[in-house]
Amino acid sequence: MRRMPTYLHRLLRMQAGGEQWVSCADLAAYMNIPHILVRKDVAMTGLRGNRRYGFRVNELIEAILRFVGWDRPSTATLIGAGSLGTALLGFADFETYRFSITSVFDADPEKIGREVHGFRIYDIAEIRKRLHQFSPKIGIICVPAVGAQLIADILVSLGIRYIWNFANVCLQVPPGVIVQREVIAGGLAVLSAKIKQSEAGGGNVGQESE
C-alpha cells in the first residue's frame, strides 16, 4: 500500500508526457524494486493488463485511486502548525489523492490568527466550537509527543474516527478509532541498518524505495 503514491506519481508524469502504456517492468526499473513486487501490487488493484502492451496508464491511475480509496474526496483537520504541520499544508500531491486539509489549529499565541499556505490558524482552545463547521473525517496530529494524547482525546470526543499521528507516541484510543502512525525515524533506522550491513561488507544492498 505504501508504494501506491510512488506508482501514482510516476504514472501521472507519464500521462502528462502523453504516454499511453506502461509495463510492470517500467515501474520496477524506475523504483529499483523486483518486477514481481510491482506485478503483485498492480494485481491487487484488480486491473487486468494486456499481454503485449502492459497496462493503459489512465486505467492504472484510476485503478490505484479506487483501490486506495482516493476515488472519493476526504477532508482533514490539522492540529499543530509547526514545521512538520506546515510541510503537510504545503504538500501539493494531496490534491491528486482528493485529500484536503480544511482547518488548522495550534496553541501557540504567536501562530494563532496567522496564515500558513492560505490557511488561517485557529486557537486550539476553540476547537470544540469551530471543528463542526469543517466536519473533517481525519485528524492529523503534528503536536509534540507530550500533548498528542490530549489532542487525540479531544478529536475522538468531537467524533473524529480516523487519526494520522506524526507525534512520537502510540495513542490510546477507543475501539473503532483508527490511528495511522507515521514514524519518520523509522526510515533512518532502515538506512542505518543498511549502512551497518554495507560497511560490514554486506555487498550491494541497493536502493530501497520505502
| Binding footprint of a second copy on the chain (CB under 8 A) | 1-6, 9-10, 30-32, 67-70, 74, 82-84, 86-88, 90-91, 93-94, 97, 99, 137-138, 145, 161-162, 164, 168-171, 173, 175-196, 198, 204-210
Give whichever of 150 and 188 is closer to a second copy, judged by the CB atom. Answer: 188
Encoded amino acid at 63, one letter: A
Q: Record the cell numbers describing residue 40, joined without a space.
A: 503483485
Give whichever of 94 and 134 is closer to a second copy, judged by the CB atom. Answer: 94
Least distance to a second copy, CB of residue 139, Å: 11
Least distance to a second copy, CB of residue 185, Å: 4
C-beta contacts of 162-167 below 8 A and 24+ residues apart: 162/137, 162/138, 163/138, 163/139, 164/76, 164/138, 164/139, 164/140, 165/141, 166/80, 166/84, 166/140, 166/141, 166/142, 167/141, 167/142, 167/143
Give whichever of 93 and 126 is closer to a second copy, judged by the CB atom. Answer: 93
Least distance to a second copy, CB of residue 48, Å: 21
Least distance to a second copy, CB of residue 161, Å: 8
169 exposed, middle or buried (CB, 10 Å; 0-12, 13-18, 19+)? middle
Give whichever of 44 and 125 is closer to a second copy, judged by the CB atom. Answer: 44
- Backbone φ and ψ of 136, nearest 5°: -75, 155
Least distance to a second copy, CB of residue 6, Å: 6
Give the largest Cα separation in the chain, rounded: 61
What are the residues whose beta carbons fall under 8 Å from the beta carbon of 71, sequence distance 6 or more?
62, 65, 98
Give whichever of 36 and 178 is closer to a second copy, judged by the CB atom. Answer: 178
